[in-house]
Amino acid sequence: MEKFYITTPLYYVNAEPHLGHAYTNIAADTIARYMRRILGVHNVWFLTGTDEHGQKIERAARELNLIPQEFVDKMVLKFKELWEKLNISYDDFIRTTEPRHVKFVEKVLEILFKKGDIYLSDYQGWYCIPCETFWTESNSDNLCPDCKRPLERIKEKNYFFRLSKYQDWLLDYIEKHPDFIKPPSRYGEVLSFLNLNRLNDLCISRPKDRLSWGIPIPFSKEHVTYVWFDALMNYISAVGYFDDNERYISKWWPAEIQLIGKDILRQHAIYWPIILNALGIQSPKTIFAHGWWMVGESKMSKSKGNIVSPFEVISQYSVDALRYFLLREVSFGMDGIFSEEAILRRYNSDLANDLGNLVYRVVNMIEKYFGLQIPQEIDMKNLDDLTNKLLIKMEDLVKKEPFYLQLPAVNFNDALENIWDLINTANKYIEDKKPWILSRENRIVELRNFVATLVKVLNKIAELISPFMPQTSNSILEQIGKNSLKKGLPLFPRIDPKY
Ligand code: MSP
């Protein structure tokens, strides 16, 4: 693969990041690391950032008596701080208030306006302020179909983008590109939506007297750009430009994969490819919509007041425990329920007991039987059955390894399950070989072979887990990756339940 471009949604900065935001960035980071380290792709570009315009943010700023720019400048630091803590290896961070983005959006609007794909018309409808979403029709209860909060009635002049003109093109495109929307359940959802409904044109402006915190519409003094139209552009504004003939030039586009949560599927699987097509730009190869982290029965979200702070989970369990838990607990694409019990269970069993224990035992055996010198050579001619079995298991996994995420299907939990199978086989190997007997009976050659085998397997495990748990991987390699042992602290000390 020559290049690999991966993106995450741009998160709204109206509140501090929560576990749901962390989830998408951890997933994207794991894929980016996997591409760089496991598949050896040199040109990987990982983009994340923040969505900083719109009513929601203007209101949040006003509540704190700040001007929006001051507010977003402050909030963006929280996101950057979290990404640093979580070891998110992004290559670029885009903010929608940056001049590079603003200029690009203005250019796009001009191109589409000139082309006749944007026009002025009357807008009447219902608007959900917290969701920043228009609904052309409302049910009798006048509540937002998404969040169930009251809608506001609106009538005004606005600019519209001709979404409807491209519906047939999109249907055809999706039918011909089975990998465009993942997982398959979401693909089916979008396809049947398009088959059953006619798209309305998309209102892409807001009158300035109602909302001023947005990108000015270049051909109207009275309007700013609708926040979703603005934000979607980031994926290309960050990596390209238009030349004099208004041709889009980019080293990175189209993205190989764009991760989103299923809450923003409509914008990414319908609006986004259509806008790109209108601009004569290719669609991304894959839009992957993952599931939600729930608390009990409801989606974790600021508006529901049930958010879990990733900062707190990290301080209690460690960064890698959080990364591991989120990617291991549910299959990517499905919803998961977050609870203290669930993460504690994973922590104590998979991390403390399985992986932590394996590292601890191997390090201690090296120290006890060989001092600081790590045995490296395995005598391949004299392998007993147990050793053979373990090495074959490792080789099998390594053969699968280049494809263990099997993109564009993203099977984090399968990959981890396979790696844990190797970890558990290695633990069992120690129990079965009974090194204390080998030592007591002075069977030094056998003991050396045994420890060298474990060292080899553990080095491989460290490599395989590196996209998921970079810190843990480094720590294992620091301890046993060279010729001499460098004993560290236990990786995952057991944590007693509070209840
Ligand atoms: N700003 C828009 C996206 C614009 S992209 C051009 C937005 N922002 S958001 O802050 O609400 O973040 C939404 C994304 O955060 C979701 O699509 C998902 O990736 C992640 N999550 C937010 N809550 C989540 C859960 N409870 N569970 C899993 N992921 C969640 O929408």
**Ligand 1 touching residue 398 (CB < 6 A):** no
pLDDT of res. 409 = 86
Q: Residue 210 domain-assigned?
A: no
pLDDT tens per residue, range 146-203: 888 999 888 889 999 999 999 999 999 999 999 999 999 999 999 999 999 999 999 9
∠ CA 284-417-6, nearest 5°, is 15
Q: Ligand 1, closest atom to CA 292?
A: 27
- CA 86 vs CA 10, 30, 413: distances in Å: 17, 11, 19
**Dist. CA 65–CA 360, nearest whole Å:** 53
The structure tokens listed for 414 are 């399968």
Instruction: Report the CATH number that the domain containing residue 457 is assigned in CATH.
Output: 1.10.730.10
Whole-number Å distance, alpha carbon 248 to ligand 1 midpoint, is 28
Q: Ligand 1, closest atom to CA 259?
A: 19
**Ligand 1 touching residue 292 (CB < 6 A):** yes
Q: Which residues of 55-65 are buried (b: 16+ CB within 10 A; e: fewer)?
A: bbbbebbeeee
Q: Give the count of beta carbons closer than 10 Å to the beta carbon of residue 338.
A: 22
Whole-number Å distance, alpha carbon 313 to ligand 1 midpoint, is 19
**Dist. CA 237–CA 100, nearest whole Å:** 7
**Ligand 1 touching residue 338 (CB < 6 A):** no
pLDDT of res. 196 = 96
Positive/negative CA dihedral, 258, 264, 270, 275: negative
Whole-number Å distance, alpha carbon 22 to ligand 1 midpoint, is 10
Q: Which of 10, 12, 19, 21 to mutate to test the pocket of ligand 1 (most atoms within 8 A of CB)?
A: 21
**Dist. CA 428–CA 331, nearest whole Å:** 27
**Dist. CA 89–CA 6, nearest whole Å:** 12
Q: Residue 296 domain-assigned?
A: no
**Ligand 1 touching residue 232 (CB < 6 A):** yes
Q: Residue 345 domain-assigned?
A: yes
| pTM for the whole structure | 0.95
pLDDT of res. 129 = 80
442 lies in which domain range?
339-480
Whole-number Å distance, alpha carbon 264 to ligand 1 midpoint, is 7
- CA 37 vs CA 32, 43, 167, 315: distances in Å: 9, 11, 40, 27
Q: Which of 16, 19, 23 to mutate to test the pocket of ligand 1 (most atoms within 8 A of CB)?
A: 23
Residue 482: beta bridge partners?
none
Q: Residue 136 domain-assigned?
A: no
Q: How many CA atoms lie within 13 A of 343 on its CB side?
A: 26
Q: In this structure, which amino acid lies at residue 14?
A: N
Whole-number Å distance, alpha carbon 348 to ligand 1 midpoint, is 30
**Dist. CA 390–CA 231, nearest whole Å:** 50
Query: Whose Cα sits closest to atom 18 in ligand 1?
Result: 261
Q: How many domains does the chain have?
A: 1
Q: Smallest Cα–Cα separation from 29: which of 47, 42, 11?
A: 47
The radius of gyration of the chain's CA atoms, rounded to the nearest angstrom, is 26
> What is the three-state SS of the chain?
CCEEEEEEEEEECCCCCCHHHHHHHHHHHHHHHHHHHHCCCCEEEEEEEEECCCHHHHHHHHHCCCCHHHHHHHHHHHHHHHHHHCCCCCCEEEECCCHHHHHHHHHHHHHHHHCCCEEEEEEEEEEECCCCEEECCCCCCCECCCCCCECEEEEEEEEEECCHHHHHHHHHHHHHCCCCEECHHHHHHHHHHHHHCCCCCEECEEECCCCCCCCECCCCCCEEECHHHHHHCHHHHCCEEECCCCCEEECCCCCCEEEEEHHHHHHHHHHHHHHHHHCCCCCCCCEEEECCEEECCEECCHHHCCCCCHHHHHHHHCHHHHHHHHHHHCCECECEECCHHHHHHHHHHHHHHHHHHHHHHHHHHHHHHHCCECCCCCCHHHCCHHHHHHHHHHHHHHHHHHHCCCCCCCCHHHHHHHHHHHHHHHHHHHHHHCHHHHHHCCCHHHHHHHHHHHHHHHHHHHHHHCCCCHHHHHHHHHHHCCCECCCCCCCCCCCCCCC
Q: Residue 265 domain-assigned?
A: no
**Ligand 1 touching residue 21 (CB < 6 A):** yes
Whole-number Å distance, alpha carbon 16 to ligand 1 midpoint, is 12
**Ligand 1 touching residue 16 (CB < 6 A):** no
**Dist. CA 13–CA 60, nearest whole Å:** 9
Q: Ligand 1, closest atom to CA 291?
A: 28
The structure tokens listed for 238 are 């960050």
Q: Ligand 1, closest atom to CA 261?
A: 17
Whole-number Å distance, alpha carbon 141 to ligand 1 midpoint, is 27
pLDDT of res. 97 = 98
Q: Residue 157 domain-assigned?
A: no
Whole-number Å distance, alpha carbon 9 to ligand 1 midpoint, is 7
Whole-number Å distance, alpha carbon 21 to ligand 1 midpoint, is 6
Q: Residue 410 domain-assigned?
A: yes
User: What stretches in the chain show pLDDT beneath 50?
Assistant: none
Q: Residue 415 domain-assigned?
A: yes
Residues 6 or more apart whose Cβ sits within 8 Å of residue 443:
none
For the sheet containing 287-290, what is the strand order? 92-95, 43-51, 3-12, 257-261, 287-290, 181-182
Residues 6 or more apart whose Cβ sits within 8 Å of residue 342:
325, 329
pLDDT of res. 476 = 98
∠ CA 291-71-314, nearest 5°, is 45
pLDDT of res. 147 = 84
pLDDT of res. 126 = 86
